[in-house]
Amino acid sequence: MENLERIIAEHPFFEGLDSEFTKLMVSCASNVRFKTGTYILKEGDPANTFYLIREGNVAVEVFAPQRKPIIVATLSVGELLGWSWLLPPFQWKFNARAIHDVRAIALDGKCLRTKCEENHDLGYAVLKRFAQIMEQRLEATRLQLLDVYSVSR
């Protein structure tokens, strides 16, 4: 537990988080590993977990009928995977696959949602961090959509 607490506190996503909040989160956390090629989460499945990546790379993919899946982003060490656990309907919108062996901390979304409801200060601290990630990824997605390297530009 002590080890998990340290890992969570040292992960860039939770950098600077009040140690009391980190302690609260430890009971929702566990160590997980995924072999190369394994799907960590699948579109449409219940979203009850998120992951703090400690090692390896993850491809975030969209399934397209009669096509190969399209990788829309990759996530690596120090990054966070998954926020669908935070908002209804609590279902994954994308697939995530381990490109290289992944080691991560899994945080139980249901457990954390309950703790956030009970402790709104924790809820606000967590939400602020997720909002920042969402903002960064939205900006990156907009840039990606601009297709800046195409010939027509």
Partner 1 sequence: MTVTPQSAVDPMLTHPCVLRAVTKETPDTFTLTVESDIGEGGSSFAPGQFSMLWVFGVGELPISISGDPAKHNQLVYTVRSVGQATHALVSQAVGNSVGVRGPFGTGWPTDGARGKDIIIVAGGIGLAPLRPVVYHALSNRKEYGRLVILYGARSPRELLYRKELAAWARNPETQVLVTVDYGGLGWRGHVGVVTTLFKYARLQPTHSVAMVCGPEIMMRFVTRELETHGLRREDIYLSMERNMKCAVGFCGHCQYGPYFICKDGPVFRYEQMRPLLEKYEL
**78 touches partner 1 by CB under 8 A:** yes
In whole angstroms, the minimum distance from the beta carbon of 82 to partner 1 comes to 17
Please give the angle made by the CA atoms of 41, 45 and 51, to the nearest 5 degrees: 35
3-state SS class at 131: helix
Whose Cβ is closer to partner 1: residue 23's or residue 42's? Answer: 42
Q: The tokens of 60 are what?
A: 């975030």
Q: Cα–Cα distance between 50 and 36 in angstroms, integer?
A: 18
**57 touches partner 1 by CB under 8 A:** yes
Phi-psi domain of 101 (left: phi exceeds 0; alpha: psi -120 through 50; beta: other): beta
Q: Do the strands 49-55 and 102-108 form a parallel or antiparallel pair, or are they unpaired?
A: antiparallel
In whole angstroms, the minimum distance from the beta carbon of 51 to partner 1 comes to 17
Single residue of 3, 19, 66, 150 touching partner 1 by CB under 8 A? 150
In whole angstroms, the minimum distance from the beta carbon of 28 to partner 1 comes to 25
Q: Where on the chain is the footprint of partner 1 (CB under 8 A)?
A: 57, 59-60, 68-74, 76, 78-79, 99-100, 139-140, 143-144, 146-151, 153
